[in-house]
């Protein structure tokens, strides 16, 4: 069996790569509350976009 070690540079990423909100905080230099507020607002905007542009009840020409 082949065994390999993870490079130090990647070890932190592999341990917490799914902590998306934390990564956004660090990258954008924002506090947790601001990140949460902005993500919620953007999710609502995407939902509204889908309802507006892909409404199955609208007529097509």
Quote the pLDDT of residue 55. 63
Phi, psi of 55 (to 5 degrees): -70, 120
Residue 40 lies in a domain: yes
Residue-number span of the structural domain to which 33 is assigned: 15-53
Residues 1-58: pLDDT tens digits? 566 787 777 777 777 767 888 888 999 999 999 999 999 999 888 888 867 666 665 5
Residues 23-34: pLDDT tens digits? 889 999 999 999
Give the C-alpha distances (Å, rounded to integers) separating 43 from 1, 39, 58. 45, 6, 23
For residues 31 and 11, give the distance between their C-alpha atoms in angstroms, rounded to a whole number: 25
Residue 3 lies in a domain: no
Residue 33 lies in a domain: yes
Q: How many domains does the chain have?
A: 1
Quote the pLDDT of residue 30. 96
Residue 19 lies in a domain: yes
Give the C-alpha distances (Å, rounded to integers) separating 4 from 7, 8, 59. 9, 12, 59
Residue 60 lies in a domain: no
């Amino acid at each position: 069996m082949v065994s390999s070690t993870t490079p130090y540079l990647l070890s932190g990423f592999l341990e917490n790569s799914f902590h998306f909100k934390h990564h956004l905080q660090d990258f954008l230099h924002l506090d947790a509350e601001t990140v949460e507020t902005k993500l919620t607002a953007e999710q609502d905007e995407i939902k509204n976009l889908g309802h507006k542009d892909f409404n199955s009840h609208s007529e097509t020409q």
